[in-house]
Amino acid sequence: MEISYFHVIFFIIFLELKLMKTYNVAHIASTNIILSGKGDDVQWDKATEMTDFCSPWDDAPIKQIAFKALWSESHLYLKFQVEDSQIHLNDSKSTICTETIGESDRVELFFRSNDQLNPYYCLEIDPSPRVMDFKAKPNNDFDFNWQWPSEELSVKSHISKTHFTVEIALSLKSLKALDLLKNNVIETGIYRAKYNKQANGTYEPTWIPWVNPQTETPNFHIASSFGKLVFVK
């Protein structure tokens, strides 16, 4: 049988999807999680803790980032607990989120509707917690006027001397409306940006993804930086 170009492309896409890094999201059957910002609801004990983040473009060791996720019949819950005793927050009076949240320590979640990233949706959340949410398309085409429906998103956080915690609740209704939840799978990028003070007093970021995108320079906005959240019961 002659193998066509399209057969090859289909096989490559199939193989990439099959090999995507996966996190299984456990189900909570009874009540929803109460977000306090501290991640202290006992139901978080039902979630698998994922800590295998990496810093492909920086040789310095990274402090632990612990991620958990759970789902109920109405919501997806996500939690980050990040070791950090020197949190950097850009507290300038600017109203431009890329100049405040975008220059602060933060966690990030990208959700894509297809492997062409057309479109994908981004949540970047600092420990305060300020939220930078936007819709994106390939080639860094960002729509910062887009916002996740406020009634479908809840975020709480807490800062301690040794770490910060961010908790997020996203309604399944919004995930389905954005064509993100398909057959109990959400293709997701999970990231952390850490800003480190330099000798000259400026701050430079260390970029930390869950999935190594195999790029020469830091790039989260690429298909190879995504894995899969799989809803299981």
Tally of CB atoms within 10 A around 215: 14
Q: Catalogue all structural domains in the chain, each as residue range(s) with its CATH number.
A: 22-231 (2.60.40.1190)
Q: Is 11 helix (H, G, I), strand (E, B) or coil?
A: helix
Tell me: the pLDDT tens digits for 77-87? Answer: 999 999 999 99
pTM for the model stands at: 0.91
Whether residue 31 is predicted with pLDDT greater than 90 in this model: the reply is: no
Question: What's the rounded mean pLDDT across residues 101-105?
Answer: 97
Q: Outline where DSSP puts E strands in the chain.
A: 22-27, 65-71, 75-83, 106-112, 120-125, 131-137, 141-143, 153-159, 163-171, 185-197, 203-209, 227-231
Nearest residue to 108 (alpha-carbon basis) of 190, 206, 22, 223? 190
Q: How does DSSP classify residue 99? A: H
Tell me: the pLDDT tens digits for 149-176? Answer: 999 999 999 999 999 999 999 999 999 9
pLDDT at residue 11, rounded to an integer: 40
Give φ, ψ of 100 to 5 degrees: -120, -75
Q: How far is CA 70 from CA 25, 27, 65, 107, in A?
A: 5, 6, 17, 18
Whether residue 12 is predicted with pLDDT greater than 80 in this model: the reply is: no
Question: What's the rounded mean pLDDT across residues 198-214?
Answer: 96
Rg of the chain over CA atoms, in angstroms? 18
Question: What's the rounded mean pLDDT across residues 69-95?
Answer: 95
Return d(Cα 127, Cα 33) in angstroms, integer.
20
Whether residue 113 is predicted with pLDDT greater than 70 in this model: the reply is: yes
pLDDT at residue 3, rounded to an integer: 54
